[in-house]
């Protein structure tokens, strides 16, 4: 259970981020959900989460902006009294073959997916270090583990998340802060639904369990990693992929 804990979740109003927020709220955590632009989705998410009886705040901004990361973490610390959990979930795709990918196509994905995680980790770790306790959970991907054609930018960003996770786990362990990564495979979200039917069928053929994953599959693992039961687990990259990595 996460009662009495507070969590900052980037990209927290839709998809996997919102699924994690729901699971955390069910377990009693107060939440600050960060989002970039969709005010309607943010309002809807906050309203839905309020039914669980925990405090729910939203913060609008771009995770690439270091000042936004600093202010969002500060807001959570002031409103909740502490920052116990950080979930770096915000991410975008911009798939193109490398021969057609511009530098801007590449850097935009890196900035959101990887630099954004760095920004929030930097400021959350300050608060966690003061109380010598914390959980940082980073969303990587199977694409970051094995690569994927047409996703040089996305795969690089998610591989970078793994490096960030391992380095920070080594740095922050003595402060009783665990840092782990989750590497989802094909999860039913808006992002994967945007794929063509041919792409979805091809992916399904690679999954040994013969089905796509659900947001809840990822959320349950995130809640476990955020709990006291995972206090001796750090520096791990855990796949939630139905066996596609094999």
Helices (H), 27-102: 39-50, 66-80
Could you give the angle at the alpha carbon of 44 between the alpha carbons of 38 and 48, nearest 5°? Answer: 145
Rounded CA gap, 239 and 18, in Å? 19
Q: How many CB atoms lie within 10 A of CB 120?
A: 28
Q: How far is CA 43 from CA 20, 25, 33, in A?
A: 17, 16, 11
Catalytic residue among 35, 52, 123, 154: 154
CB 137 within 8 A of CB 117: no
Exposed/middle/buried for residue 64 (C-beta within 10 Å: 0-12, 13-18, 19+): buried
**d(C-alpha 109, C-alpha 102), whole Å:** 11
Angle at 140 between CA 117 and CA 149, to 5 degrees: 120
- Mark whether 154 is an active-site residue: yes
Rg over alpha carbons for the chain, rounded to the nearest Å, is 17
Per-residue burial over 131-161, b = 16 or more CB atoms within 10 Å of its CB, e = otherwise: eebbbbbbbbbbbbbeeeebbbbbbbbbbbb
So which residues are the catalytic ones?
Answer: 154
């Amino acid at each position: 259970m996460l009662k009495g804990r507070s969590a900052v979740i980037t990209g927290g109003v839709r998809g996997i981020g919102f699924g994690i927020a729901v699971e955390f709220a069910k377990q009693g955590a107060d939440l600050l959900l960060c989002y970039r632009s969709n005010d309607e989705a943010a309002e809807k998410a906050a309203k839905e989460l309020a039914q669980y009886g925990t405090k729910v705040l939203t913060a609008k901004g771009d995770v690439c902006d270091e000042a936004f990361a600093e202010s969002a973490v500060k807001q959570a610390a002031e409103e909740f009294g502490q920052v116990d959990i950080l979930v770096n979930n915000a991410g975008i795709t911009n798939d193109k073959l490398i021969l057609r990918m511009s530098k801007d196509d590449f850097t935009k994905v890196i900035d959101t997916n990887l630099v954004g995680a760095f920004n929030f980790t930097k400021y959350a770790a300050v608060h966690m270090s003061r109380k010598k306790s914390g959980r940082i959970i980073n969303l990587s991907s199977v694409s970051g583990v094995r690569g994927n054609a047409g996703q040089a930018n996305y795969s690089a960003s998610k591989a970078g998340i793994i490096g960030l996770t391992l380095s920070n786990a080594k740095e922050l362990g003595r402060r009783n802060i665990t840092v782990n990564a989750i590497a989802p495979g094909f999860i039913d979200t808006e992002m994967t639904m945007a794929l063509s039917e041919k792409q979805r069928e091809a992916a399904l053929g690679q999954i040994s369990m013969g089905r796509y994953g659900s947001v809840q599959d990822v959320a349950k693992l995130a809640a476990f990693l955020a709990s006291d039961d995972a206090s001796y687990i750090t520096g791990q990259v855990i796949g939630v992929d139905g066996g596609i990595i094999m």
